[in-house]
Amino acid sequence: MPAPSVKSPKIYKPTMEEFRDFSKFVERIEREDEAHKIGICKIIPPEEWVPRKKGYALKDIDLFIEGPIKQKFQLYDGEYPGCYQARSSTLGKIHVKDYYKKANSEAYKPPKWETYDDLERKYWKSIEFRDPPIYGCDVARSFTDADLDVWNLSKLNTILDIVSNELDTVIQGMNSPYLYFGMWRATFSWHVEDMDLYGINMVHYGAPKSWYCVPPKYGHLLEKLAKEVFSETSTLCTNFMRHKTCIISPKVLEKHNIPYNKLVQKAREIIIVFPYAYHSGFNHGFNIAEAINFASPRWIEYGKRHRPCDCDKSRVKFTMDPFIQRFQPELYEKWMRNLDIAPHPEDPPELIEKVLARAKDPLKYAKKLEKQTTDRLANGVWDPMKPTDIVLDVYKHVEFQHLEISIEPKTFKIFEGRKDLEAWFQRDNLDIKQLIEDGILFKADEAVLPGDAASKLEDAAEISVGFQRLNPKKSKENNEDNDPDWDPEVYPEPVEKIMHPKKTYENQISGSTNNGARKRPNIDLVKPDPENIAVYKHSTDNWQIKINEDSWTMFENQIVPKEAKEFLELPLQDLIELGILIRITVTKKSEIDEKKSKIVKESQVKTESSQVKKQEEDDDFEWPMT
């Protein structure tokens, strides 16, 4: 089936009169041209519009880029050529003048090219193999004159001003502008704007940018493809594309019938990306750009329904409460009770049906999920318990099931999870009982808390969401290592482990236990483990994970250490080949093919050499430290 046909992006050349009122201009192009359905547009401002009167002579720019990043692009999976994982490392600060020299040096300057299509082909051919580009991104500064009243990115005067004016919150890059200093091949990976806001980007000076954009209607297709390609990363965070690490070439989009558009943005030209429009691109050479987010009343439904990163790595969020109160007062009461349930404006039909079923009767929907929990718990096999042990009910949010709160059912005492739930909803003093009665939270599991640990926790601060494990601080007297995650100020004395195995998004639960805690029953426990499950440990940090050597993916039913989550976005085979992950045991013995043997052998050989190689690479990289 061919990709759906989409309209080409509009290029606007407004007069100064048409250009003068920013919000009215955006409202007009959406009303008359449905520009938002295309996802991206370009504006060529009138010549009399001058954002920076003194210009961009480098001798007049006295500015340091505080945290430039070196970008490495690695083919993620040989089965998906054209799909790369972007890995960034932060370098020391550099002056803009030195960055300009670096961008135009032999190693980093762009190749000779004839057309934009020619340069685009050279970008994709060289993405893996040339020196990693350096991107001077996220510089909290504006180059626009403060007295500019028309299209001043620092003061666009949209409803996003509620965040600074009423919430007294400044979020750099969102309601305060960022500068970006680019060079050839410096890349921005596929993403939508934080909270699905609008984005606006202006190239002040220098070489163009190339943009790719998937119309909002088809964003779900890109997400589906990304979960298939970056399958290991997707197990760590349900909305991992907000990490801005996924690079997918247009050829891959075409192969999978995902429609997209592309634009080239030159100096003095402005790009607007619309809510939930996935976009990516690269710079053609040295340039200076400025960007910020903005909002309109049409965006509010996107902001209410956006699905943020659930692993805290890339979560940028503010409360929508004042927006609902001002622009949707009829929904405010339902919203404050978390009963304003509706699909995201760009959800596909199958997801819309699911959300509407929940919206029709939230409590009935939650009880249906609880019935599955009850059946699973009733059929479980339990370990012995001590009389002092406490059984806790574990509740999850119906939609965002990484959110958990653990409650003692007799007293309704909350042992863990309140702070994370309140942080997610951006509200203090949530009525947890009301959330359960309204069907916002459902009972998803039970956990066992040893009685002596409970007494220690009564006056202690809450720990991270999920009851993954609370390890006792090990004493030097018994020659055991101290737990690096232990906070002696919160827990001055050792306590027993709280056992509640980490669950995946689909409620597939590990059957491992500790300290007499009873197993969480799970019908998956009767399934035999796959063949060739091996345990690997990190070469220096010593955390461990199980890997399925048949598929070279992480074994599903296991606890993934916190410190491993971000690290494991790289392909597992690469981590093994580099000697970063070392194979230590095999759960089941079976014949290992030549490929597996080679990888394991190389991992052992490269354990020490990988560190040397990294040091040599850093030494060879000439970077002006100032």
- Measured distance CA(536)–CA(568) in Å, rounded: 12
Q: What is the pLDDT of residue 455?
A: 67
Q: Are 521 and 377 in contact (CB under 8 A)?
A: yes
pLDDT for 348-365, tens place per residue? 999 999 999 999 999 999
Q: What is the pLDDT of residue 97?
A: 97
Q: What is the pLDDT of residue 562?
A: 65
- Measured distance CA(265)–CA(370) in Å, rounded: 52
- Measured distance CA(43)–CA(249) in Å, rounded: 25
Closest CA to 436 of 369, 377, 366: 366
Instruction: State whether 519 and 562 are in the same domain.
Output: no
Instruction: State whether 382 and 462 are in the same domain.
Output: yes
Q: What is the mean pLDDT of residues 188-193?
A: 97
Q: What is the mean pLDDT of residues 491-499?
A: 32
Q: What is the pLDDT of residue 314?
A: 63
- Measured distance CA(149)–CA(51) in Å, rounded: 10
End-to-end CA distance of the chain: 55
Instruction: State whether 251 and 374 are in the same domain.
Output: no
Q: What is the pLDDT of residue 588?
A: 44
User: Which residue range is the domain that position 610 belongs to?
Assistant: 533-620
Provide the whole-model pTM: 0.77
C-alpha count within 13 angstroms, C-beta hemisphere, residue 219: 28
Tell me if 608 is assigned to some domain: yes
3-state DSSP assignment of residue 183: coil
Instruction: State whether 555 and 471 are in the same domain.
Output: no
Alpha helices in 458-593 (DSSP H): 562-565, 572-577
Q: What is the mean pLDDT of residues 528-539?
A: 71
Highest mean pLDDT among 45-54, 500-509, 550-559: 45-54
Tell me if 585 is assigned to some domain: yes
Q: What is the pLDDT of residue 557?
A: 60
Q: What is the mean pLDDT of residues 373-399?
A: 85
* Greater model confidence, 586 or 344: 344
* Greater model confidence, 456 or 223: 223
Task: Say whether pLDDT at 273 is over 50.
Answer: yes
In the chain, the percentage of residues whose pLDDT exceeds 70 is: 77
Instruction: State whether 590 and 606 are in the same domain.
Output: yes
Q: What is the pLDDT of residue 467?
A: 32
Q: Are 217 and 3 in contact (CB under 8 A)?
A: no
Task: Say whether pLDDT at 469 is over 60.
Answer: no
Q: Are 248 and 221 in contact (CB under 8 A)?
A: no
Distances (CA, A) of 288 to 67, 112, 281, 374, 608: 16, 21, 15, 58, 41
Q: What is the pLDDT of residue 416?
A: 86
- Measured distance CA(246)–CA(280) in Å, rounded: 9
The DSSP 8-state label assigned to residue 242 in this structure reads: G
Tell me if 418 is assigned to some domain: yes
In this structure, what are the phi and psi dihedrals at residue 56, rounded to the nearest 5 degrees? -130, 30
Count up the domains in the chain and report the number.
3
- Measured distance CA(255)–CA(262) in Å, rounded: 17
Q: Which residues of 207-223 are buried (b: 16+ CB within 10 A; e: fewer)?
A: bbbbbbbbbbbbbbbbb
Q: Are 440 and 371 in contact (CB under 8 A)?
A: no
pLDDT for 244-262, tens place per residue? 999 999 999 999 999 999 9
Q: What is the pLDDT of residue 457?
A: 62
pLDDT for 557-616, tens place per residue? 666 776 776 666 677 777 787 777 888 855 444 444 444 444 444 444 444 444 444 444
Q: Which of 297, 323, 342 is the last residue of a domain?
A: 297
Q: What is the pLDDT of residue 492?
A: 35
Structure token pair of residue 503: 């669950």
Looking only at the bridges linking them, the beta strands covering 64-65 and 94-95 are antiparallel
Tell me if 319 is assigned to some domain: no
Radius of gyration (C-alpha) of the chain in whole angstroms: 26
Instruction: State whether 513 and 542 are in the same domain.
Output: no
Instruction: State whether 29 and 151 are in the same domain.
Output: yes
DSSP E strand boundaries for 398-440: 404-408, 413-416
Q: What is the pLDDT of residue 451?
A: 76
Instruction: State whether 137 and 255 are in the same domain.
Output: yes
* Greater model confidence, 424 or 516: 424
Which helix H or strand E contains 327, and what residues bound it?
A: helix 321-327
3-state DSSP assignment of residue 270: strand
Instruction: State whether 537 and 478 are in the same domain.
Output: no
Closest CA to 210 of 276, 279, 292: 279
Task: Say whether pLDDT at 522 is over 60.
Answer: no
Task: Say whether pLDDT at 421 is over 70.
Answer: yes
Alpha helices in 426-471 (DSSP H): 432-437, 451-457
Structure token pair of residue 30: 């959406």
Tell me if 353 is assigned to some domain: no
Closest CA to 564 of 538, 585, 584: 538
pLDDT for 291-315, tens place per residue? 999 999 999 999 999 999 887 766 7
Instruction: State whether 476 and 539 are in the same domain.
Output: no
Instruction: State whether 478 and 582 are in the same domain.
Output: no
Q: Which of 498, 526, 554 is the last residue of a domain?
A: 526
- Measured distance CA(323)–CA(317) in Å, rounded: 14
Tell me if 262 is assigned to some domain: yes
Tell me if 324 is assigned to some domain: no
Q: What is the pLDDT of residue 453?
A: 72
Which helix H or strand E contains 357, and what residues bound it?
A: helix 349-360
Instruction: State whether 552 and 514 are in the same domain.
Output: no
Q: Are 104 and 286 in contact (CB under 8 A)?
A: yes
Average pLDDT, the chain: 82
Q: Are 554 and 577 in contact (CB under 8 A)?
A: no
What CATH number corresponds to the domain at position 207? Answer: 2.60.120.650
- Measured distance CA(238)–CA(129) in Å, rounded: 30
Contacts of 515 (CB under 8 A, 6+ apart): 450, 496, 497, 499
Q: Are 216 and 37 in contact (CB under 8 A)?
A: yes
Q: What is the pLDDT of residue 554?
A: 76
Closest CA to 223 of 88, 348, 49, 357: 348
In the chain, the percentage of residues whose pLDDT exceeds 90 is: 60
Q: What is the pLDDT of residue 602?
A: 47
Check the CA dihedral 513-519-522-524 and report its sign. positive
Q: Which of 526, 552, 575 is the last residue of a domain?
A: 526
Tell me if 342 is assigned to some domain: no
Q: What is the mean pLDDT of residues 156-170?
A: 95
**Could you tell me the pLDDT band of residue 386, with boundaries at 50, 70 and 90?**
confident
Task: Give all strands of the β-sheet with 287-294 in edge-to-edge order.
Answer: 11-12, 40-43, 270-273, 198-206, 287-294, 178-182, 134-139, 69-75, 83-90, 246-248
In this structure, what are the phi and psi dihedrals at residue 455, rounded to the nearest 5 degrees? -65, -35
